[in-house]
């Protein structure tokens, strides 16, 4: 399978992330064939740890693709990382400003150019005490509806056991297993062509994240909650 050309800095990132993710934990990648070998795709991901993006990146790169992430703009303030992010075409998200729309526009451009775009629709690491997905932002629905591309749920499990941000806890031993699984593309045909209203965006967002939640339940071997966590932080971010 021919790899998507990524250039020097994609090679640098791959040289760091492939061995780095193996060092941190055992990896189990499932459903890799669900990511198209070519052409555009939107990956809708859950978010349980700051370690999720490196595992997502390796997962997609093993399919021969170069993912474009929508990520917090604060990452662009880290000198070396900024160089890698800019050179590999990553998309900074500046919340609470008109620049947020520019981030979505950049994601639209990436999909139009045939790229794989990965989005953590919750906007931050979940605050659900049991690490289920929380109520998500509707930008993911806007992307999914404006581009007739495969929309693929992708889940992570185990990264939070290696690094739990809210508890500031890094655990390298005992060695954990990180699972990344891609599911079947979500059929959005009944929603396409309808007027894009806030109600429609919310409905499609909840549909996509329900697919993510059900897939995560399969990986965990547990029953998922009936509702999404509100996203409001608990006192002291305690879990």
Q: Quick check: is 3 in a domain?
A: no
- The whole-angstrom separation of Cα 48 and Cα 131 is 6
The predicted pLDDT at position 236 comes to: 40
**CATH number reported for the structural domain that contains residue 129 in this entry:** 3.40.1130.10
Q: Which of 224, 39, 26 is nearest to 134 (CA)?
A: 224
Domain range for 53: 14-222
Give 239's pLDDT tier (boundaries 50, 70, 90): very low
For residues 43 and 60, the answer to whether their CB atoms sit within 8 Å is yes
Q: Which residues have C-beta within 8 Å of that of residue 121, sequence separation ≥ 6?
A: 44, 45, 136, 137, 139, 140, 205, 208, 209
More confident residue, 179 or 1: 179
Q: Quick check: is 131 in a domain?
A: yes
What total number of domains does the chain contain?
1
SS3 content of the chain, % helix, strand, coil (to 5): 40, 20, 40
pLDDT tens readout for residues 101-147: 778 899 999 999 999 999 999 999 999 999 999 999 999 999 999 99
Give the length of the chain. 239
Q: Quick check: is 231 in a domain?
A: no
Q: Quick check: is 153 in a domain?
A: yes
pTM above threshold 0.85: yes
Q: Quick check: is 1 in a domain?
A: no
For residues 118 and 154, the answer to whether their CB atoms sit within 8 Å is yes
Q: Quick check: is 18 in a domain?
A: yes
Q: Which of 168, 44, 27 is nearest to 118 (CA)?
A: 44
The predicted pLDDT at position 176 comes to: 97
DSSP 65: -
Q: Quick check: is 232 in a domain?
A: no
Q: Which two tokens stand for residue 95?
A: 């919340």
């Amino acid at each position: 399978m021919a790899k998507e050309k990524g250039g020097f800095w994609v090679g640098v990132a791959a040289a760091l992330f492939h061995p780095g993710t193996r060092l941190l934990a055992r990896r189990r990648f499932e459903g890799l064939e669900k990511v198209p070998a070519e052409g555009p795709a939107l990956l809708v991901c859950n978010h349980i740890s700051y370690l999720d993006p490196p595992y997502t990146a390796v997962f997609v790169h093993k399919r021969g693709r170069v993912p474009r992430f929508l990520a917090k703009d604060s990452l662009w303030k880290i000198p070396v990382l900024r160089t890698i992010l800019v050179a590999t075409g990553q998309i900074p998200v500046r919340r609470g400003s008109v620049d947020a729309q520019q981030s979505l526009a950049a994601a639209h451009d990436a999909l139009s150019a045939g790229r794989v775009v990965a989005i953590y629709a919750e906007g931050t690491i979940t605050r659900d005490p049991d690490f289920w997905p929380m109520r998500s932002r509707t930008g993911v629905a806007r992307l999914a509806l404006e581009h007739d591309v495969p929309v693929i749920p992708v889940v992570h499990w185990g990264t939070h056991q290696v690094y739990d941000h809210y508890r500031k806890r890094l655990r390298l031993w005992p060695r954990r297993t990180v699972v990344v699984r891609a599911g079947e593309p979500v059929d959005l045909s009944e929603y396409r062509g309808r007027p894009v209203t806030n109600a429609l965006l919310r409905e499609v967002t909840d549909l996509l994240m329900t697919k993510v939640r059900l897939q995560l339940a399969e990986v965990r071997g547990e029953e998922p909650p009936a509702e999404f966590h509100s996203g409001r932080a608990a006192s002291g971010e305690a879990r």
